[in-house]
Every structure is written in C-alpha cells, then in structure tokens.
Structure 1
Amino acid sequence: MKVPVYIQIHNEIRKEIESGKWAVGERIPSERQLSQDFDVSRMTLRQAIQTLVDEGILQRQVGSGTYVASSKVQEKMSGTTSFTEITESQGKKPSSKTVSYHVADPSISELEKLKLKDGDQVLRMERIRYADQQPICFEVATIPIEIVNTLNKKDITSSLYKALEDKAGLKLGNATQTVSAILASEKIANFLNVKRGSAILRVRQVTTLDDGRPFEYVRSQYAGDRFEFYLER
C-alpha cells in the first residue's frame, strides 16, 4: 500500500529534526518554502506539519512560525482513559462522528509508539467525540490492524475498549499519557465549534493490553473550557 504523501513528508521532516538539522527551539522554514522544497501543495505540506504538531514534535507560535518543540514536564496518570466511560460517569450521553477511517502504513511515530515491525499496517481513524451532542474533543487513533481484524467498523468507532474486551476477548492494561496546552488551529476550531486560537488540551496516549502489547496510539485535542483531567494520587 502506498504511503500517503503527507506521511512521507512527516517522516522526512522528523528524520531531519532527529539528525540535528534544526535544533530544539529553532524555527523551521515557512510552509511556502517547505512546500517548494518537497514539491507539494501547501495543503499537503500543512497536513504533514499539523501531524508533527499533534505529536508534540513541532509547536506553532502565532504570528511567529513553527518551531522544534522543547521537552515538556510529564505527569503520570493512573489507569486507562475511556471517553465513553468518563462521559457516562458524568451522567451524559457519549457519541462520536467519524471523520476518516482507513487502513494505512504507519508513520515513524506510529511505528515506534506501537512497537510495530516493517510491513505491519494500522487502522487510522479521526473522530469528533461528543457529550450530550456537544463536541468535546477531536482525536486521531491508530491501532495495529491485527488487533481489530475480528471487529467491525461500528464496534471500533462506538467503543473500542468495550469491543476489545467483550468481542475480542482481550484484557486492557495500562495507559501512558502526556498532556499539554496549545491553541486551536482553524481545523480543530471548526470541529469543536470554538474560536480559532482558543485554549486546547492536547493529550497523547499509548494504551497497552494486559500482556504489555501497545494496541492504541491516540492524539486528542479537547476544548479547554469543556473538559478537565482529574489526577488522584
């Protein structure tokens, strides 16, 4: 399966960052310059850059440009975070809208986070998650295809965790999360019905099965005024 062009560019830019071409805190070339360098449209280049921003590798500064992100302080959070369970525990009705859903070759980041081998494929889906019909978050979830090959699309998009336990007979393990604050891009603002530049909570999570195998890598962006995390020590 051919790797999407934006993923190819994502991988190349990440390799250049890792090789030291741009240092931490350094501004990378403009989207216009990079689109010319890679000979692609601005829209394709912007998609690759946004994926790197979502992963925390790059960070945007309004009116200034895009920079190689510095490392952030990380806080451990216990347990797995299921949007469905959290929403129901608050007495609200969870729902979701699938924006995209397809099998693809993994990006370098997905390959590393999910501990995949060359040749492995993933299911990548984008969803808007709602509580009582109000948009709460936009998420990009990547799952090894071998984990969900016995499940149908409805099982996966409605409540993946429940389907894995009830239909696939798998037990969930732990989740590792990183949380940071960013400003809503135009795309996310439209999805979450907020103003561009509004406060957004960005969460990156890798979830494992009880045998330690990573089965999910999720990049979520929550409307800052509609969701909060509670940490119990």
Structure 2
Amino acid sequence: MSLKRKQGPLYQQIQKILKDRILHGVYPLGSIIPSEPQLEKEFGVSKMTVRGAVQELAQEGYVQKKSGVGTIVMRNTSHQKLSKGKRFTELLVEEGQKLEKKVLNSRLLTNNTGTEEYGLYGPHRQRIERLYILNGQPYIHLIHFLAAAALPGGGKEEMNGDIQSLYDSLEENDILLENFKDRFFVEPAAPEVCQLLKIPPGTHVLKRLRNSFDGEGRLIEHSIGCYNTELHHYLVSYDT
C-alpha cells in the first residue's frame, strides 16, 4: 500500500490504517496483527517507522506486545465522540463480523457538476464512492458528498478517500459532527448498484439518506447508502 508524505508522518498514517483494520474486524479481538517485517514490506517503510506506528496503537490500548507471541489486539472499539454515527459498524465487529471498505472512486466536484440539490453549496465538494464488504460478500454501496468546509485547503484539496472511517478522519481534521438526520425507504436498486452488490437486477434494497451537521448547524456530509439486507439486517442501537 502506498503512503503519501503530504498527508502527515508515515508512522501516523500506518497507525491510522492499522487502527481502522482493528475497528472494522480485519484484525479481530485477540488476534495477532502482522509482524514488523510483514508491515515493513506492505508499506515500504523502515523498521523504526512501523515500530512507531505500533507503539502509538499500544499507547491507545488497541494492542499489546507479548514476548514470543507477537502483537495482540486488546480492544476493538473507539472512544471517539462520533460513536453514534459509527455504531452500526461497531455492532457488526462486536458480533465477530469482518467488515472491509473498498474505495470505488473519489473526486472533487465543482459548481458545474451539480450537488446543490443536497444542500452542499460552495465552490468545491468531494464525492467518495465506496463498497462495504461483509465477510467477503458485497453488502453496502455508499456515496458520500462532503462540503468544502470538511476538505483540506478550504475545499481545494481532496480528503484521502482510501480510509476505513470517514467520521474518524473528519474528527481528526477538527470537524465534529453533532447531528445526524436519516431517512429510510425501500426501492429497487439501480442496475449498477445491483451489479456491485451481486444481486439480481431490480432487487429491492434498503436505502438510507443521511445528512450530517456540525455544531454550528452546517451540513458537512450527505450520503446515499444501499443495503443488501438479505445478507445482514440493518441494526440500530439506541443508548439510554
């Protein structure tokens, strides 16, 4: 996997990737993450860079090194403020599911590419299309539209689309989402979505439209999700 130096220190980028894998069940609770030599080869970095990334994870309580055994995953839940927005994926991981996220495409949009109907005004926006894969099978097709306020350089630069947790990345950029408004309905999936989810043409799916707002009431994200609930039900957990 290639890293980009302009996105920060390499050890921090690796730490974020490993943390995302833990939170999404790629490295389950109690499992051993790849060895330092394996991570050096995967990311093309030095031993010290990998060691720094693993030490960061250990300080946060996600992993623990055990002599003669390896580095073991000790925690797989996040303490971030955005737990409400991420609760569904956390439930899947707590069930022992393995959830992977594949970026299909990511690009900047300008005024003439038209997402104003979603309320995302401004000179630039970003569109990120992703496919969630549950235990090796396509499960959710998601398209995110991010407002310019959420992007580096005031919207002139793209957020890294190759990420597991979009909400974590927003929070790391000091964008705190305080309110989510979801709308659900069932309708036949578009032909290209059926193909991606590997379901018969015209299959009805659960569709979720989400608007995410910051503390000032600004719309930061609009997303469109199509869920193959035949593979797994959509679960909502309300904290009391």
TM-score (norm 1): 0.56
Matching residue of 1:179: 184
Matching residue of 1:146: 149
Contact residue 81 and residue 175 of structure 1 kept, 8 A? no
Contact residue 179 and residue 203 of structure 1 kept, 8 A? yes
Residues of 1 paired with 2:112 and 2:235: CA distance? 28
Contact residue 108 and residue 126 of structure 2 kept, 8 A? yes
Matching residue of 2:167: 161
Q: Check if 1:110 corresponds to 2:131.
A: no
**What secondary structure does 1:99 align onto?**
strand
Contact residue 145 and residue 223 of structure 2 kept, 8 A? yes
Q: Could you tell me which amino acid in structure 2 is paired with residue 158 of structure 1?
A: Q
Identity of aligned residues (%): 18
Shift of 1:149: 1.1
Matching residue of 1:44: none
Superposition CA RMSD, Å:
2.7
Contact residue 210 and residue 222 of structure 2 kept, 8 A? yes
Shift of 1:109: 7.4
Residues of 2 paired with 1:223 and 1:200: CA distance? 6
Matching residue of 2:68: none
Q: Check if 1:134 corresponds to 2:137.
A: yes
Q: Runs (4+) of structure 1 moved beyond 4 Å?
A: 106-109
Matching residue of 1:63: none
What are the ranges of 5 or more consecutive residues in structure 1 without an aligned counterpart? 1-78
Q: Could you tell me which amino acid in structure 2 is paired with residue 164 of structure 1?
A: L
Residues of 2 paired with 1:84 and 1:106: CA distance? 33
Bigger CA radius of gyration = 2
Residues of 1 paired with 2:195 and 2:116: CA distance? 29
Matching residue of 1:197: 202
Q: 1:179 to 1:109 in 2, by over 3 A?
A: farther
TM-score (norm 2): 0.55
Shift of 1:107: 7.5
Residues of 1 paired with 2:88 and 2:163: CA distance? 12
Q: Residues 27-49 of structure 1: CA distance to partner in whole angstroms, max 9, x if unpaired?
A: xxxxxxxxxxxxxxxxxxxxxxx
Residues of 2 paired with 1:164 and 1:208: CA distance? 12
Aligned length: 151
Residues of 2 paired with 1:161 and 1:190: CA distance? 27
